[in-house]
């Protein structure tokens, strides 16, 4: 279903409001360290994190908080020393929430996450429980929040629908039964769009749904039945042996919101190119903007996973970012041997503001 301008505008307006609230909550969380019993300014970032009781696994994330808040003018940072923190009142945050419908899945999740930031940063609260726990579970998982983030909002709808169209168009051009391998398929939000777009192709493509989580594989079996096969594949390990062990040549690789977990996206793109057929297609979905609302909620989930403990060896080694920039993805794809790259939304589209993009990277004579 096409997105209406009104729907897009409402989504973007709410997103800006949620970012502003998250900045306030992040500022409040750091300011709590500065009390009459705490050292006065200047205060090193390490001393601040020590005072907050920040868990080791979340320290890189909290350092990105500091950089983000400094860029937003919420703290004054000089040579990795905090000179001042803007005063924010909790009542200001409460007033801001009145303009947001928190009965909906994602805003409700974000409000709960922001209210429990102190427990998230100390590691006392599991970000996995916060996102996936709940009474309305399927296969042991409550996916309502994940769907709101990865499937149902206008940005995700655009890139997922584009993914389905790219895959279907490519498979229709083949003179053979196509083979799709989806890496880090997770909740199946993108899988759903690809399966829907390819359901009338004959012969039906072979679809391999992969993830590192048995829980997500069980959910995929329950949701998609015989439409997909499943296997454990870990992008932190060499892809070639894992993918080749599951079958023959691969025509399409789909990787939605997972490739940033690779500690080197250049190596990841090269590995994907190596497992693809000579006329293969990589469909990639990635976010390249670390928005405050994500930094204060879902990124706790990312910083707690195994991949986060391997320091990046690509451009993020010096930038300190978790999410590679658009230019970094483009460069990695071209260097890996992909000859044409299509990206949506285009830079002049309103949804480019979200920083989430879909990429169709082709090799050889792929169309």
Q: Is 79 exposed, middle or buried (0-12, 13-18, 19+ CB in 10 A)?
A: exposed
Of the pLDDT bands very low, low, confident and very high (cuts 50, 70, 90), residue 365 is low
Helices (H), the chain: 5-31, 45-52, 59-71, 90-97, 105-115, 117-122, 127-132, 144-147, 154-172, 189-198, 214-224, 239-244, 265-275, 292-295, 298-303, 316-319, 326-335
Entry pTM: 0.93
Lowest-confidence region among 205-214, 217-226, 273-282, 314-323? 314-323
Residue indicated by tokens 């928005």: 291
Structural domain boundaries in the chain: 150-288+323-362
Q: What is the pLDDT of residue 34?
A: 54
Residue 309 has pLDDT above 80, yes or no: no
CATH number assigned to the domain covering 150-288+323-362: 3.40.50.150
Give per-residue pLDDT as tens, 160-201: 999 999 999 999 999 899 999 999 999 999 999 999 999 999
Number of C-beta neighbours around residue 95 at 10 A = 10
Of the pLDDT bands very low, low, confident and very high (cuts 50, 70, 90), residue 35 is low
Which H or E run contains 256? strand 250-256
Give per-residue pLDDT as tens, 82-103: 999 999 999 999 999 999 999 9
* Residue bearing the bigger pLDDT, 230 or 35: 230
Residue 135 has pLDDT above 60, yes or no: no
Residue indicated by tokens 């209406």: 4
Furthest-apart CA atoms within the chain: distance in Å: 73
Residue 311 has pLDDT above 90, yes or no: no
From the list 266, 240, 257, the residue with the least C-alpha distance to 333 is 266
Query: DSSP string covering 258-307, please?
Result: -GGGSS-HHHHHHHHHHHEEEEEEEEEEEE----HHHHTTHHHHHHTSGG
CA atoms within 13 A on the CB side of 151: 17
């Amino acid at each position: 279903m096409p997105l209406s301008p009104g729907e897009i505008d409402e989504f973007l307006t709410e997103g800006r409001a949620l970012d502003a609230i998250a900045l306030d909550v992040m500022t409040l969380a750091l300011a709590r360290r500065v009390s009459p019993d705490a050292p006065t300014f200047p205060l090193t970032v390490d001393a601040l994190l020590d005072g907050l009781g920040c868990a080791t696994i979340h320290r890189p994330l909290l350092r990105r908080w500091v950089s983000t808040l400094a860029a937003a003018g919420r703290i004054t940072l000089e040579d990795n020393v905090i000179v001042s923190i803007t005063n924010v009142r909790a009542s200001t945050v409460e007033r801001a929430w009145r303009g947001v419908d928190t009965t909906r899945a994602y805003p409700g999740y974000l409000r709960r996450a922001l209210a429990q930031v102190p427990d998230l940063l100390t590691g006392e609260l599991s970000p996995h429980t916060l996102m996936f726990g709940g009474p309305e579970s399927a296969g042991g998982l409550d996916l309502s929040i994940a769907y709101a983030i990865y499937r149902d909002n206008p940005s995700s709808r655009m890139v997922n629908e584009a993914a389905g169209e790219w895959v279907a168009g490519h498979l229709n051009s083949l003179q053979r039964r196509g083979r799709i391998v989806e890496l880090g398929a997770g909740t199946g939000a993108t899988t759903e769009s690809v399966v829907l777009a390819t359901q009338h192709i004959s012969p039906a493509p072979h679809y391999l749904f992969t993830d590192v989580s048995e829980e997500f594989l069980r959910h995929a079996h329950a949701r998609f039945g015989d439409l997909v096969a499943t296997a454990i594949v870990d992008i932190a390990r060499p892809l070639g042996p894992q993918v080749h062990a599951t079958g023959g040549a691969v025509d399409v690789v789909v990787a939605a919101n997972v490739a940033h977990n690779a500690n080197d996206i250049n190596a990841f793109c090269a590995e994907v190119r190596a497992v693809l057929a000579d006329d293969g297609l990589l469909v990639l979905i990635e976010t390249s903007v670390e928005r405050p609302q994500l930094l204060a909620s879902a990124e706790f989930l990312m910083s707690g996973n195994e991949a986060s403990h391997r320091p990046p060896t690509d451009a993020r080694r010096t930038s300190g970012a978790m999410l590679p920039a658009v230019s970094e993805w483009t460069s990695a794809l071209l260097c890996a041997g992909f000859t044409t790259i299509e990206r949506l939304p285009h830079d002049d589209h309103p949804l480019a503001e979200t920083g989430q993009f879909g990429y169709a990277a082709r090799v050889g004579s792929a169309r």
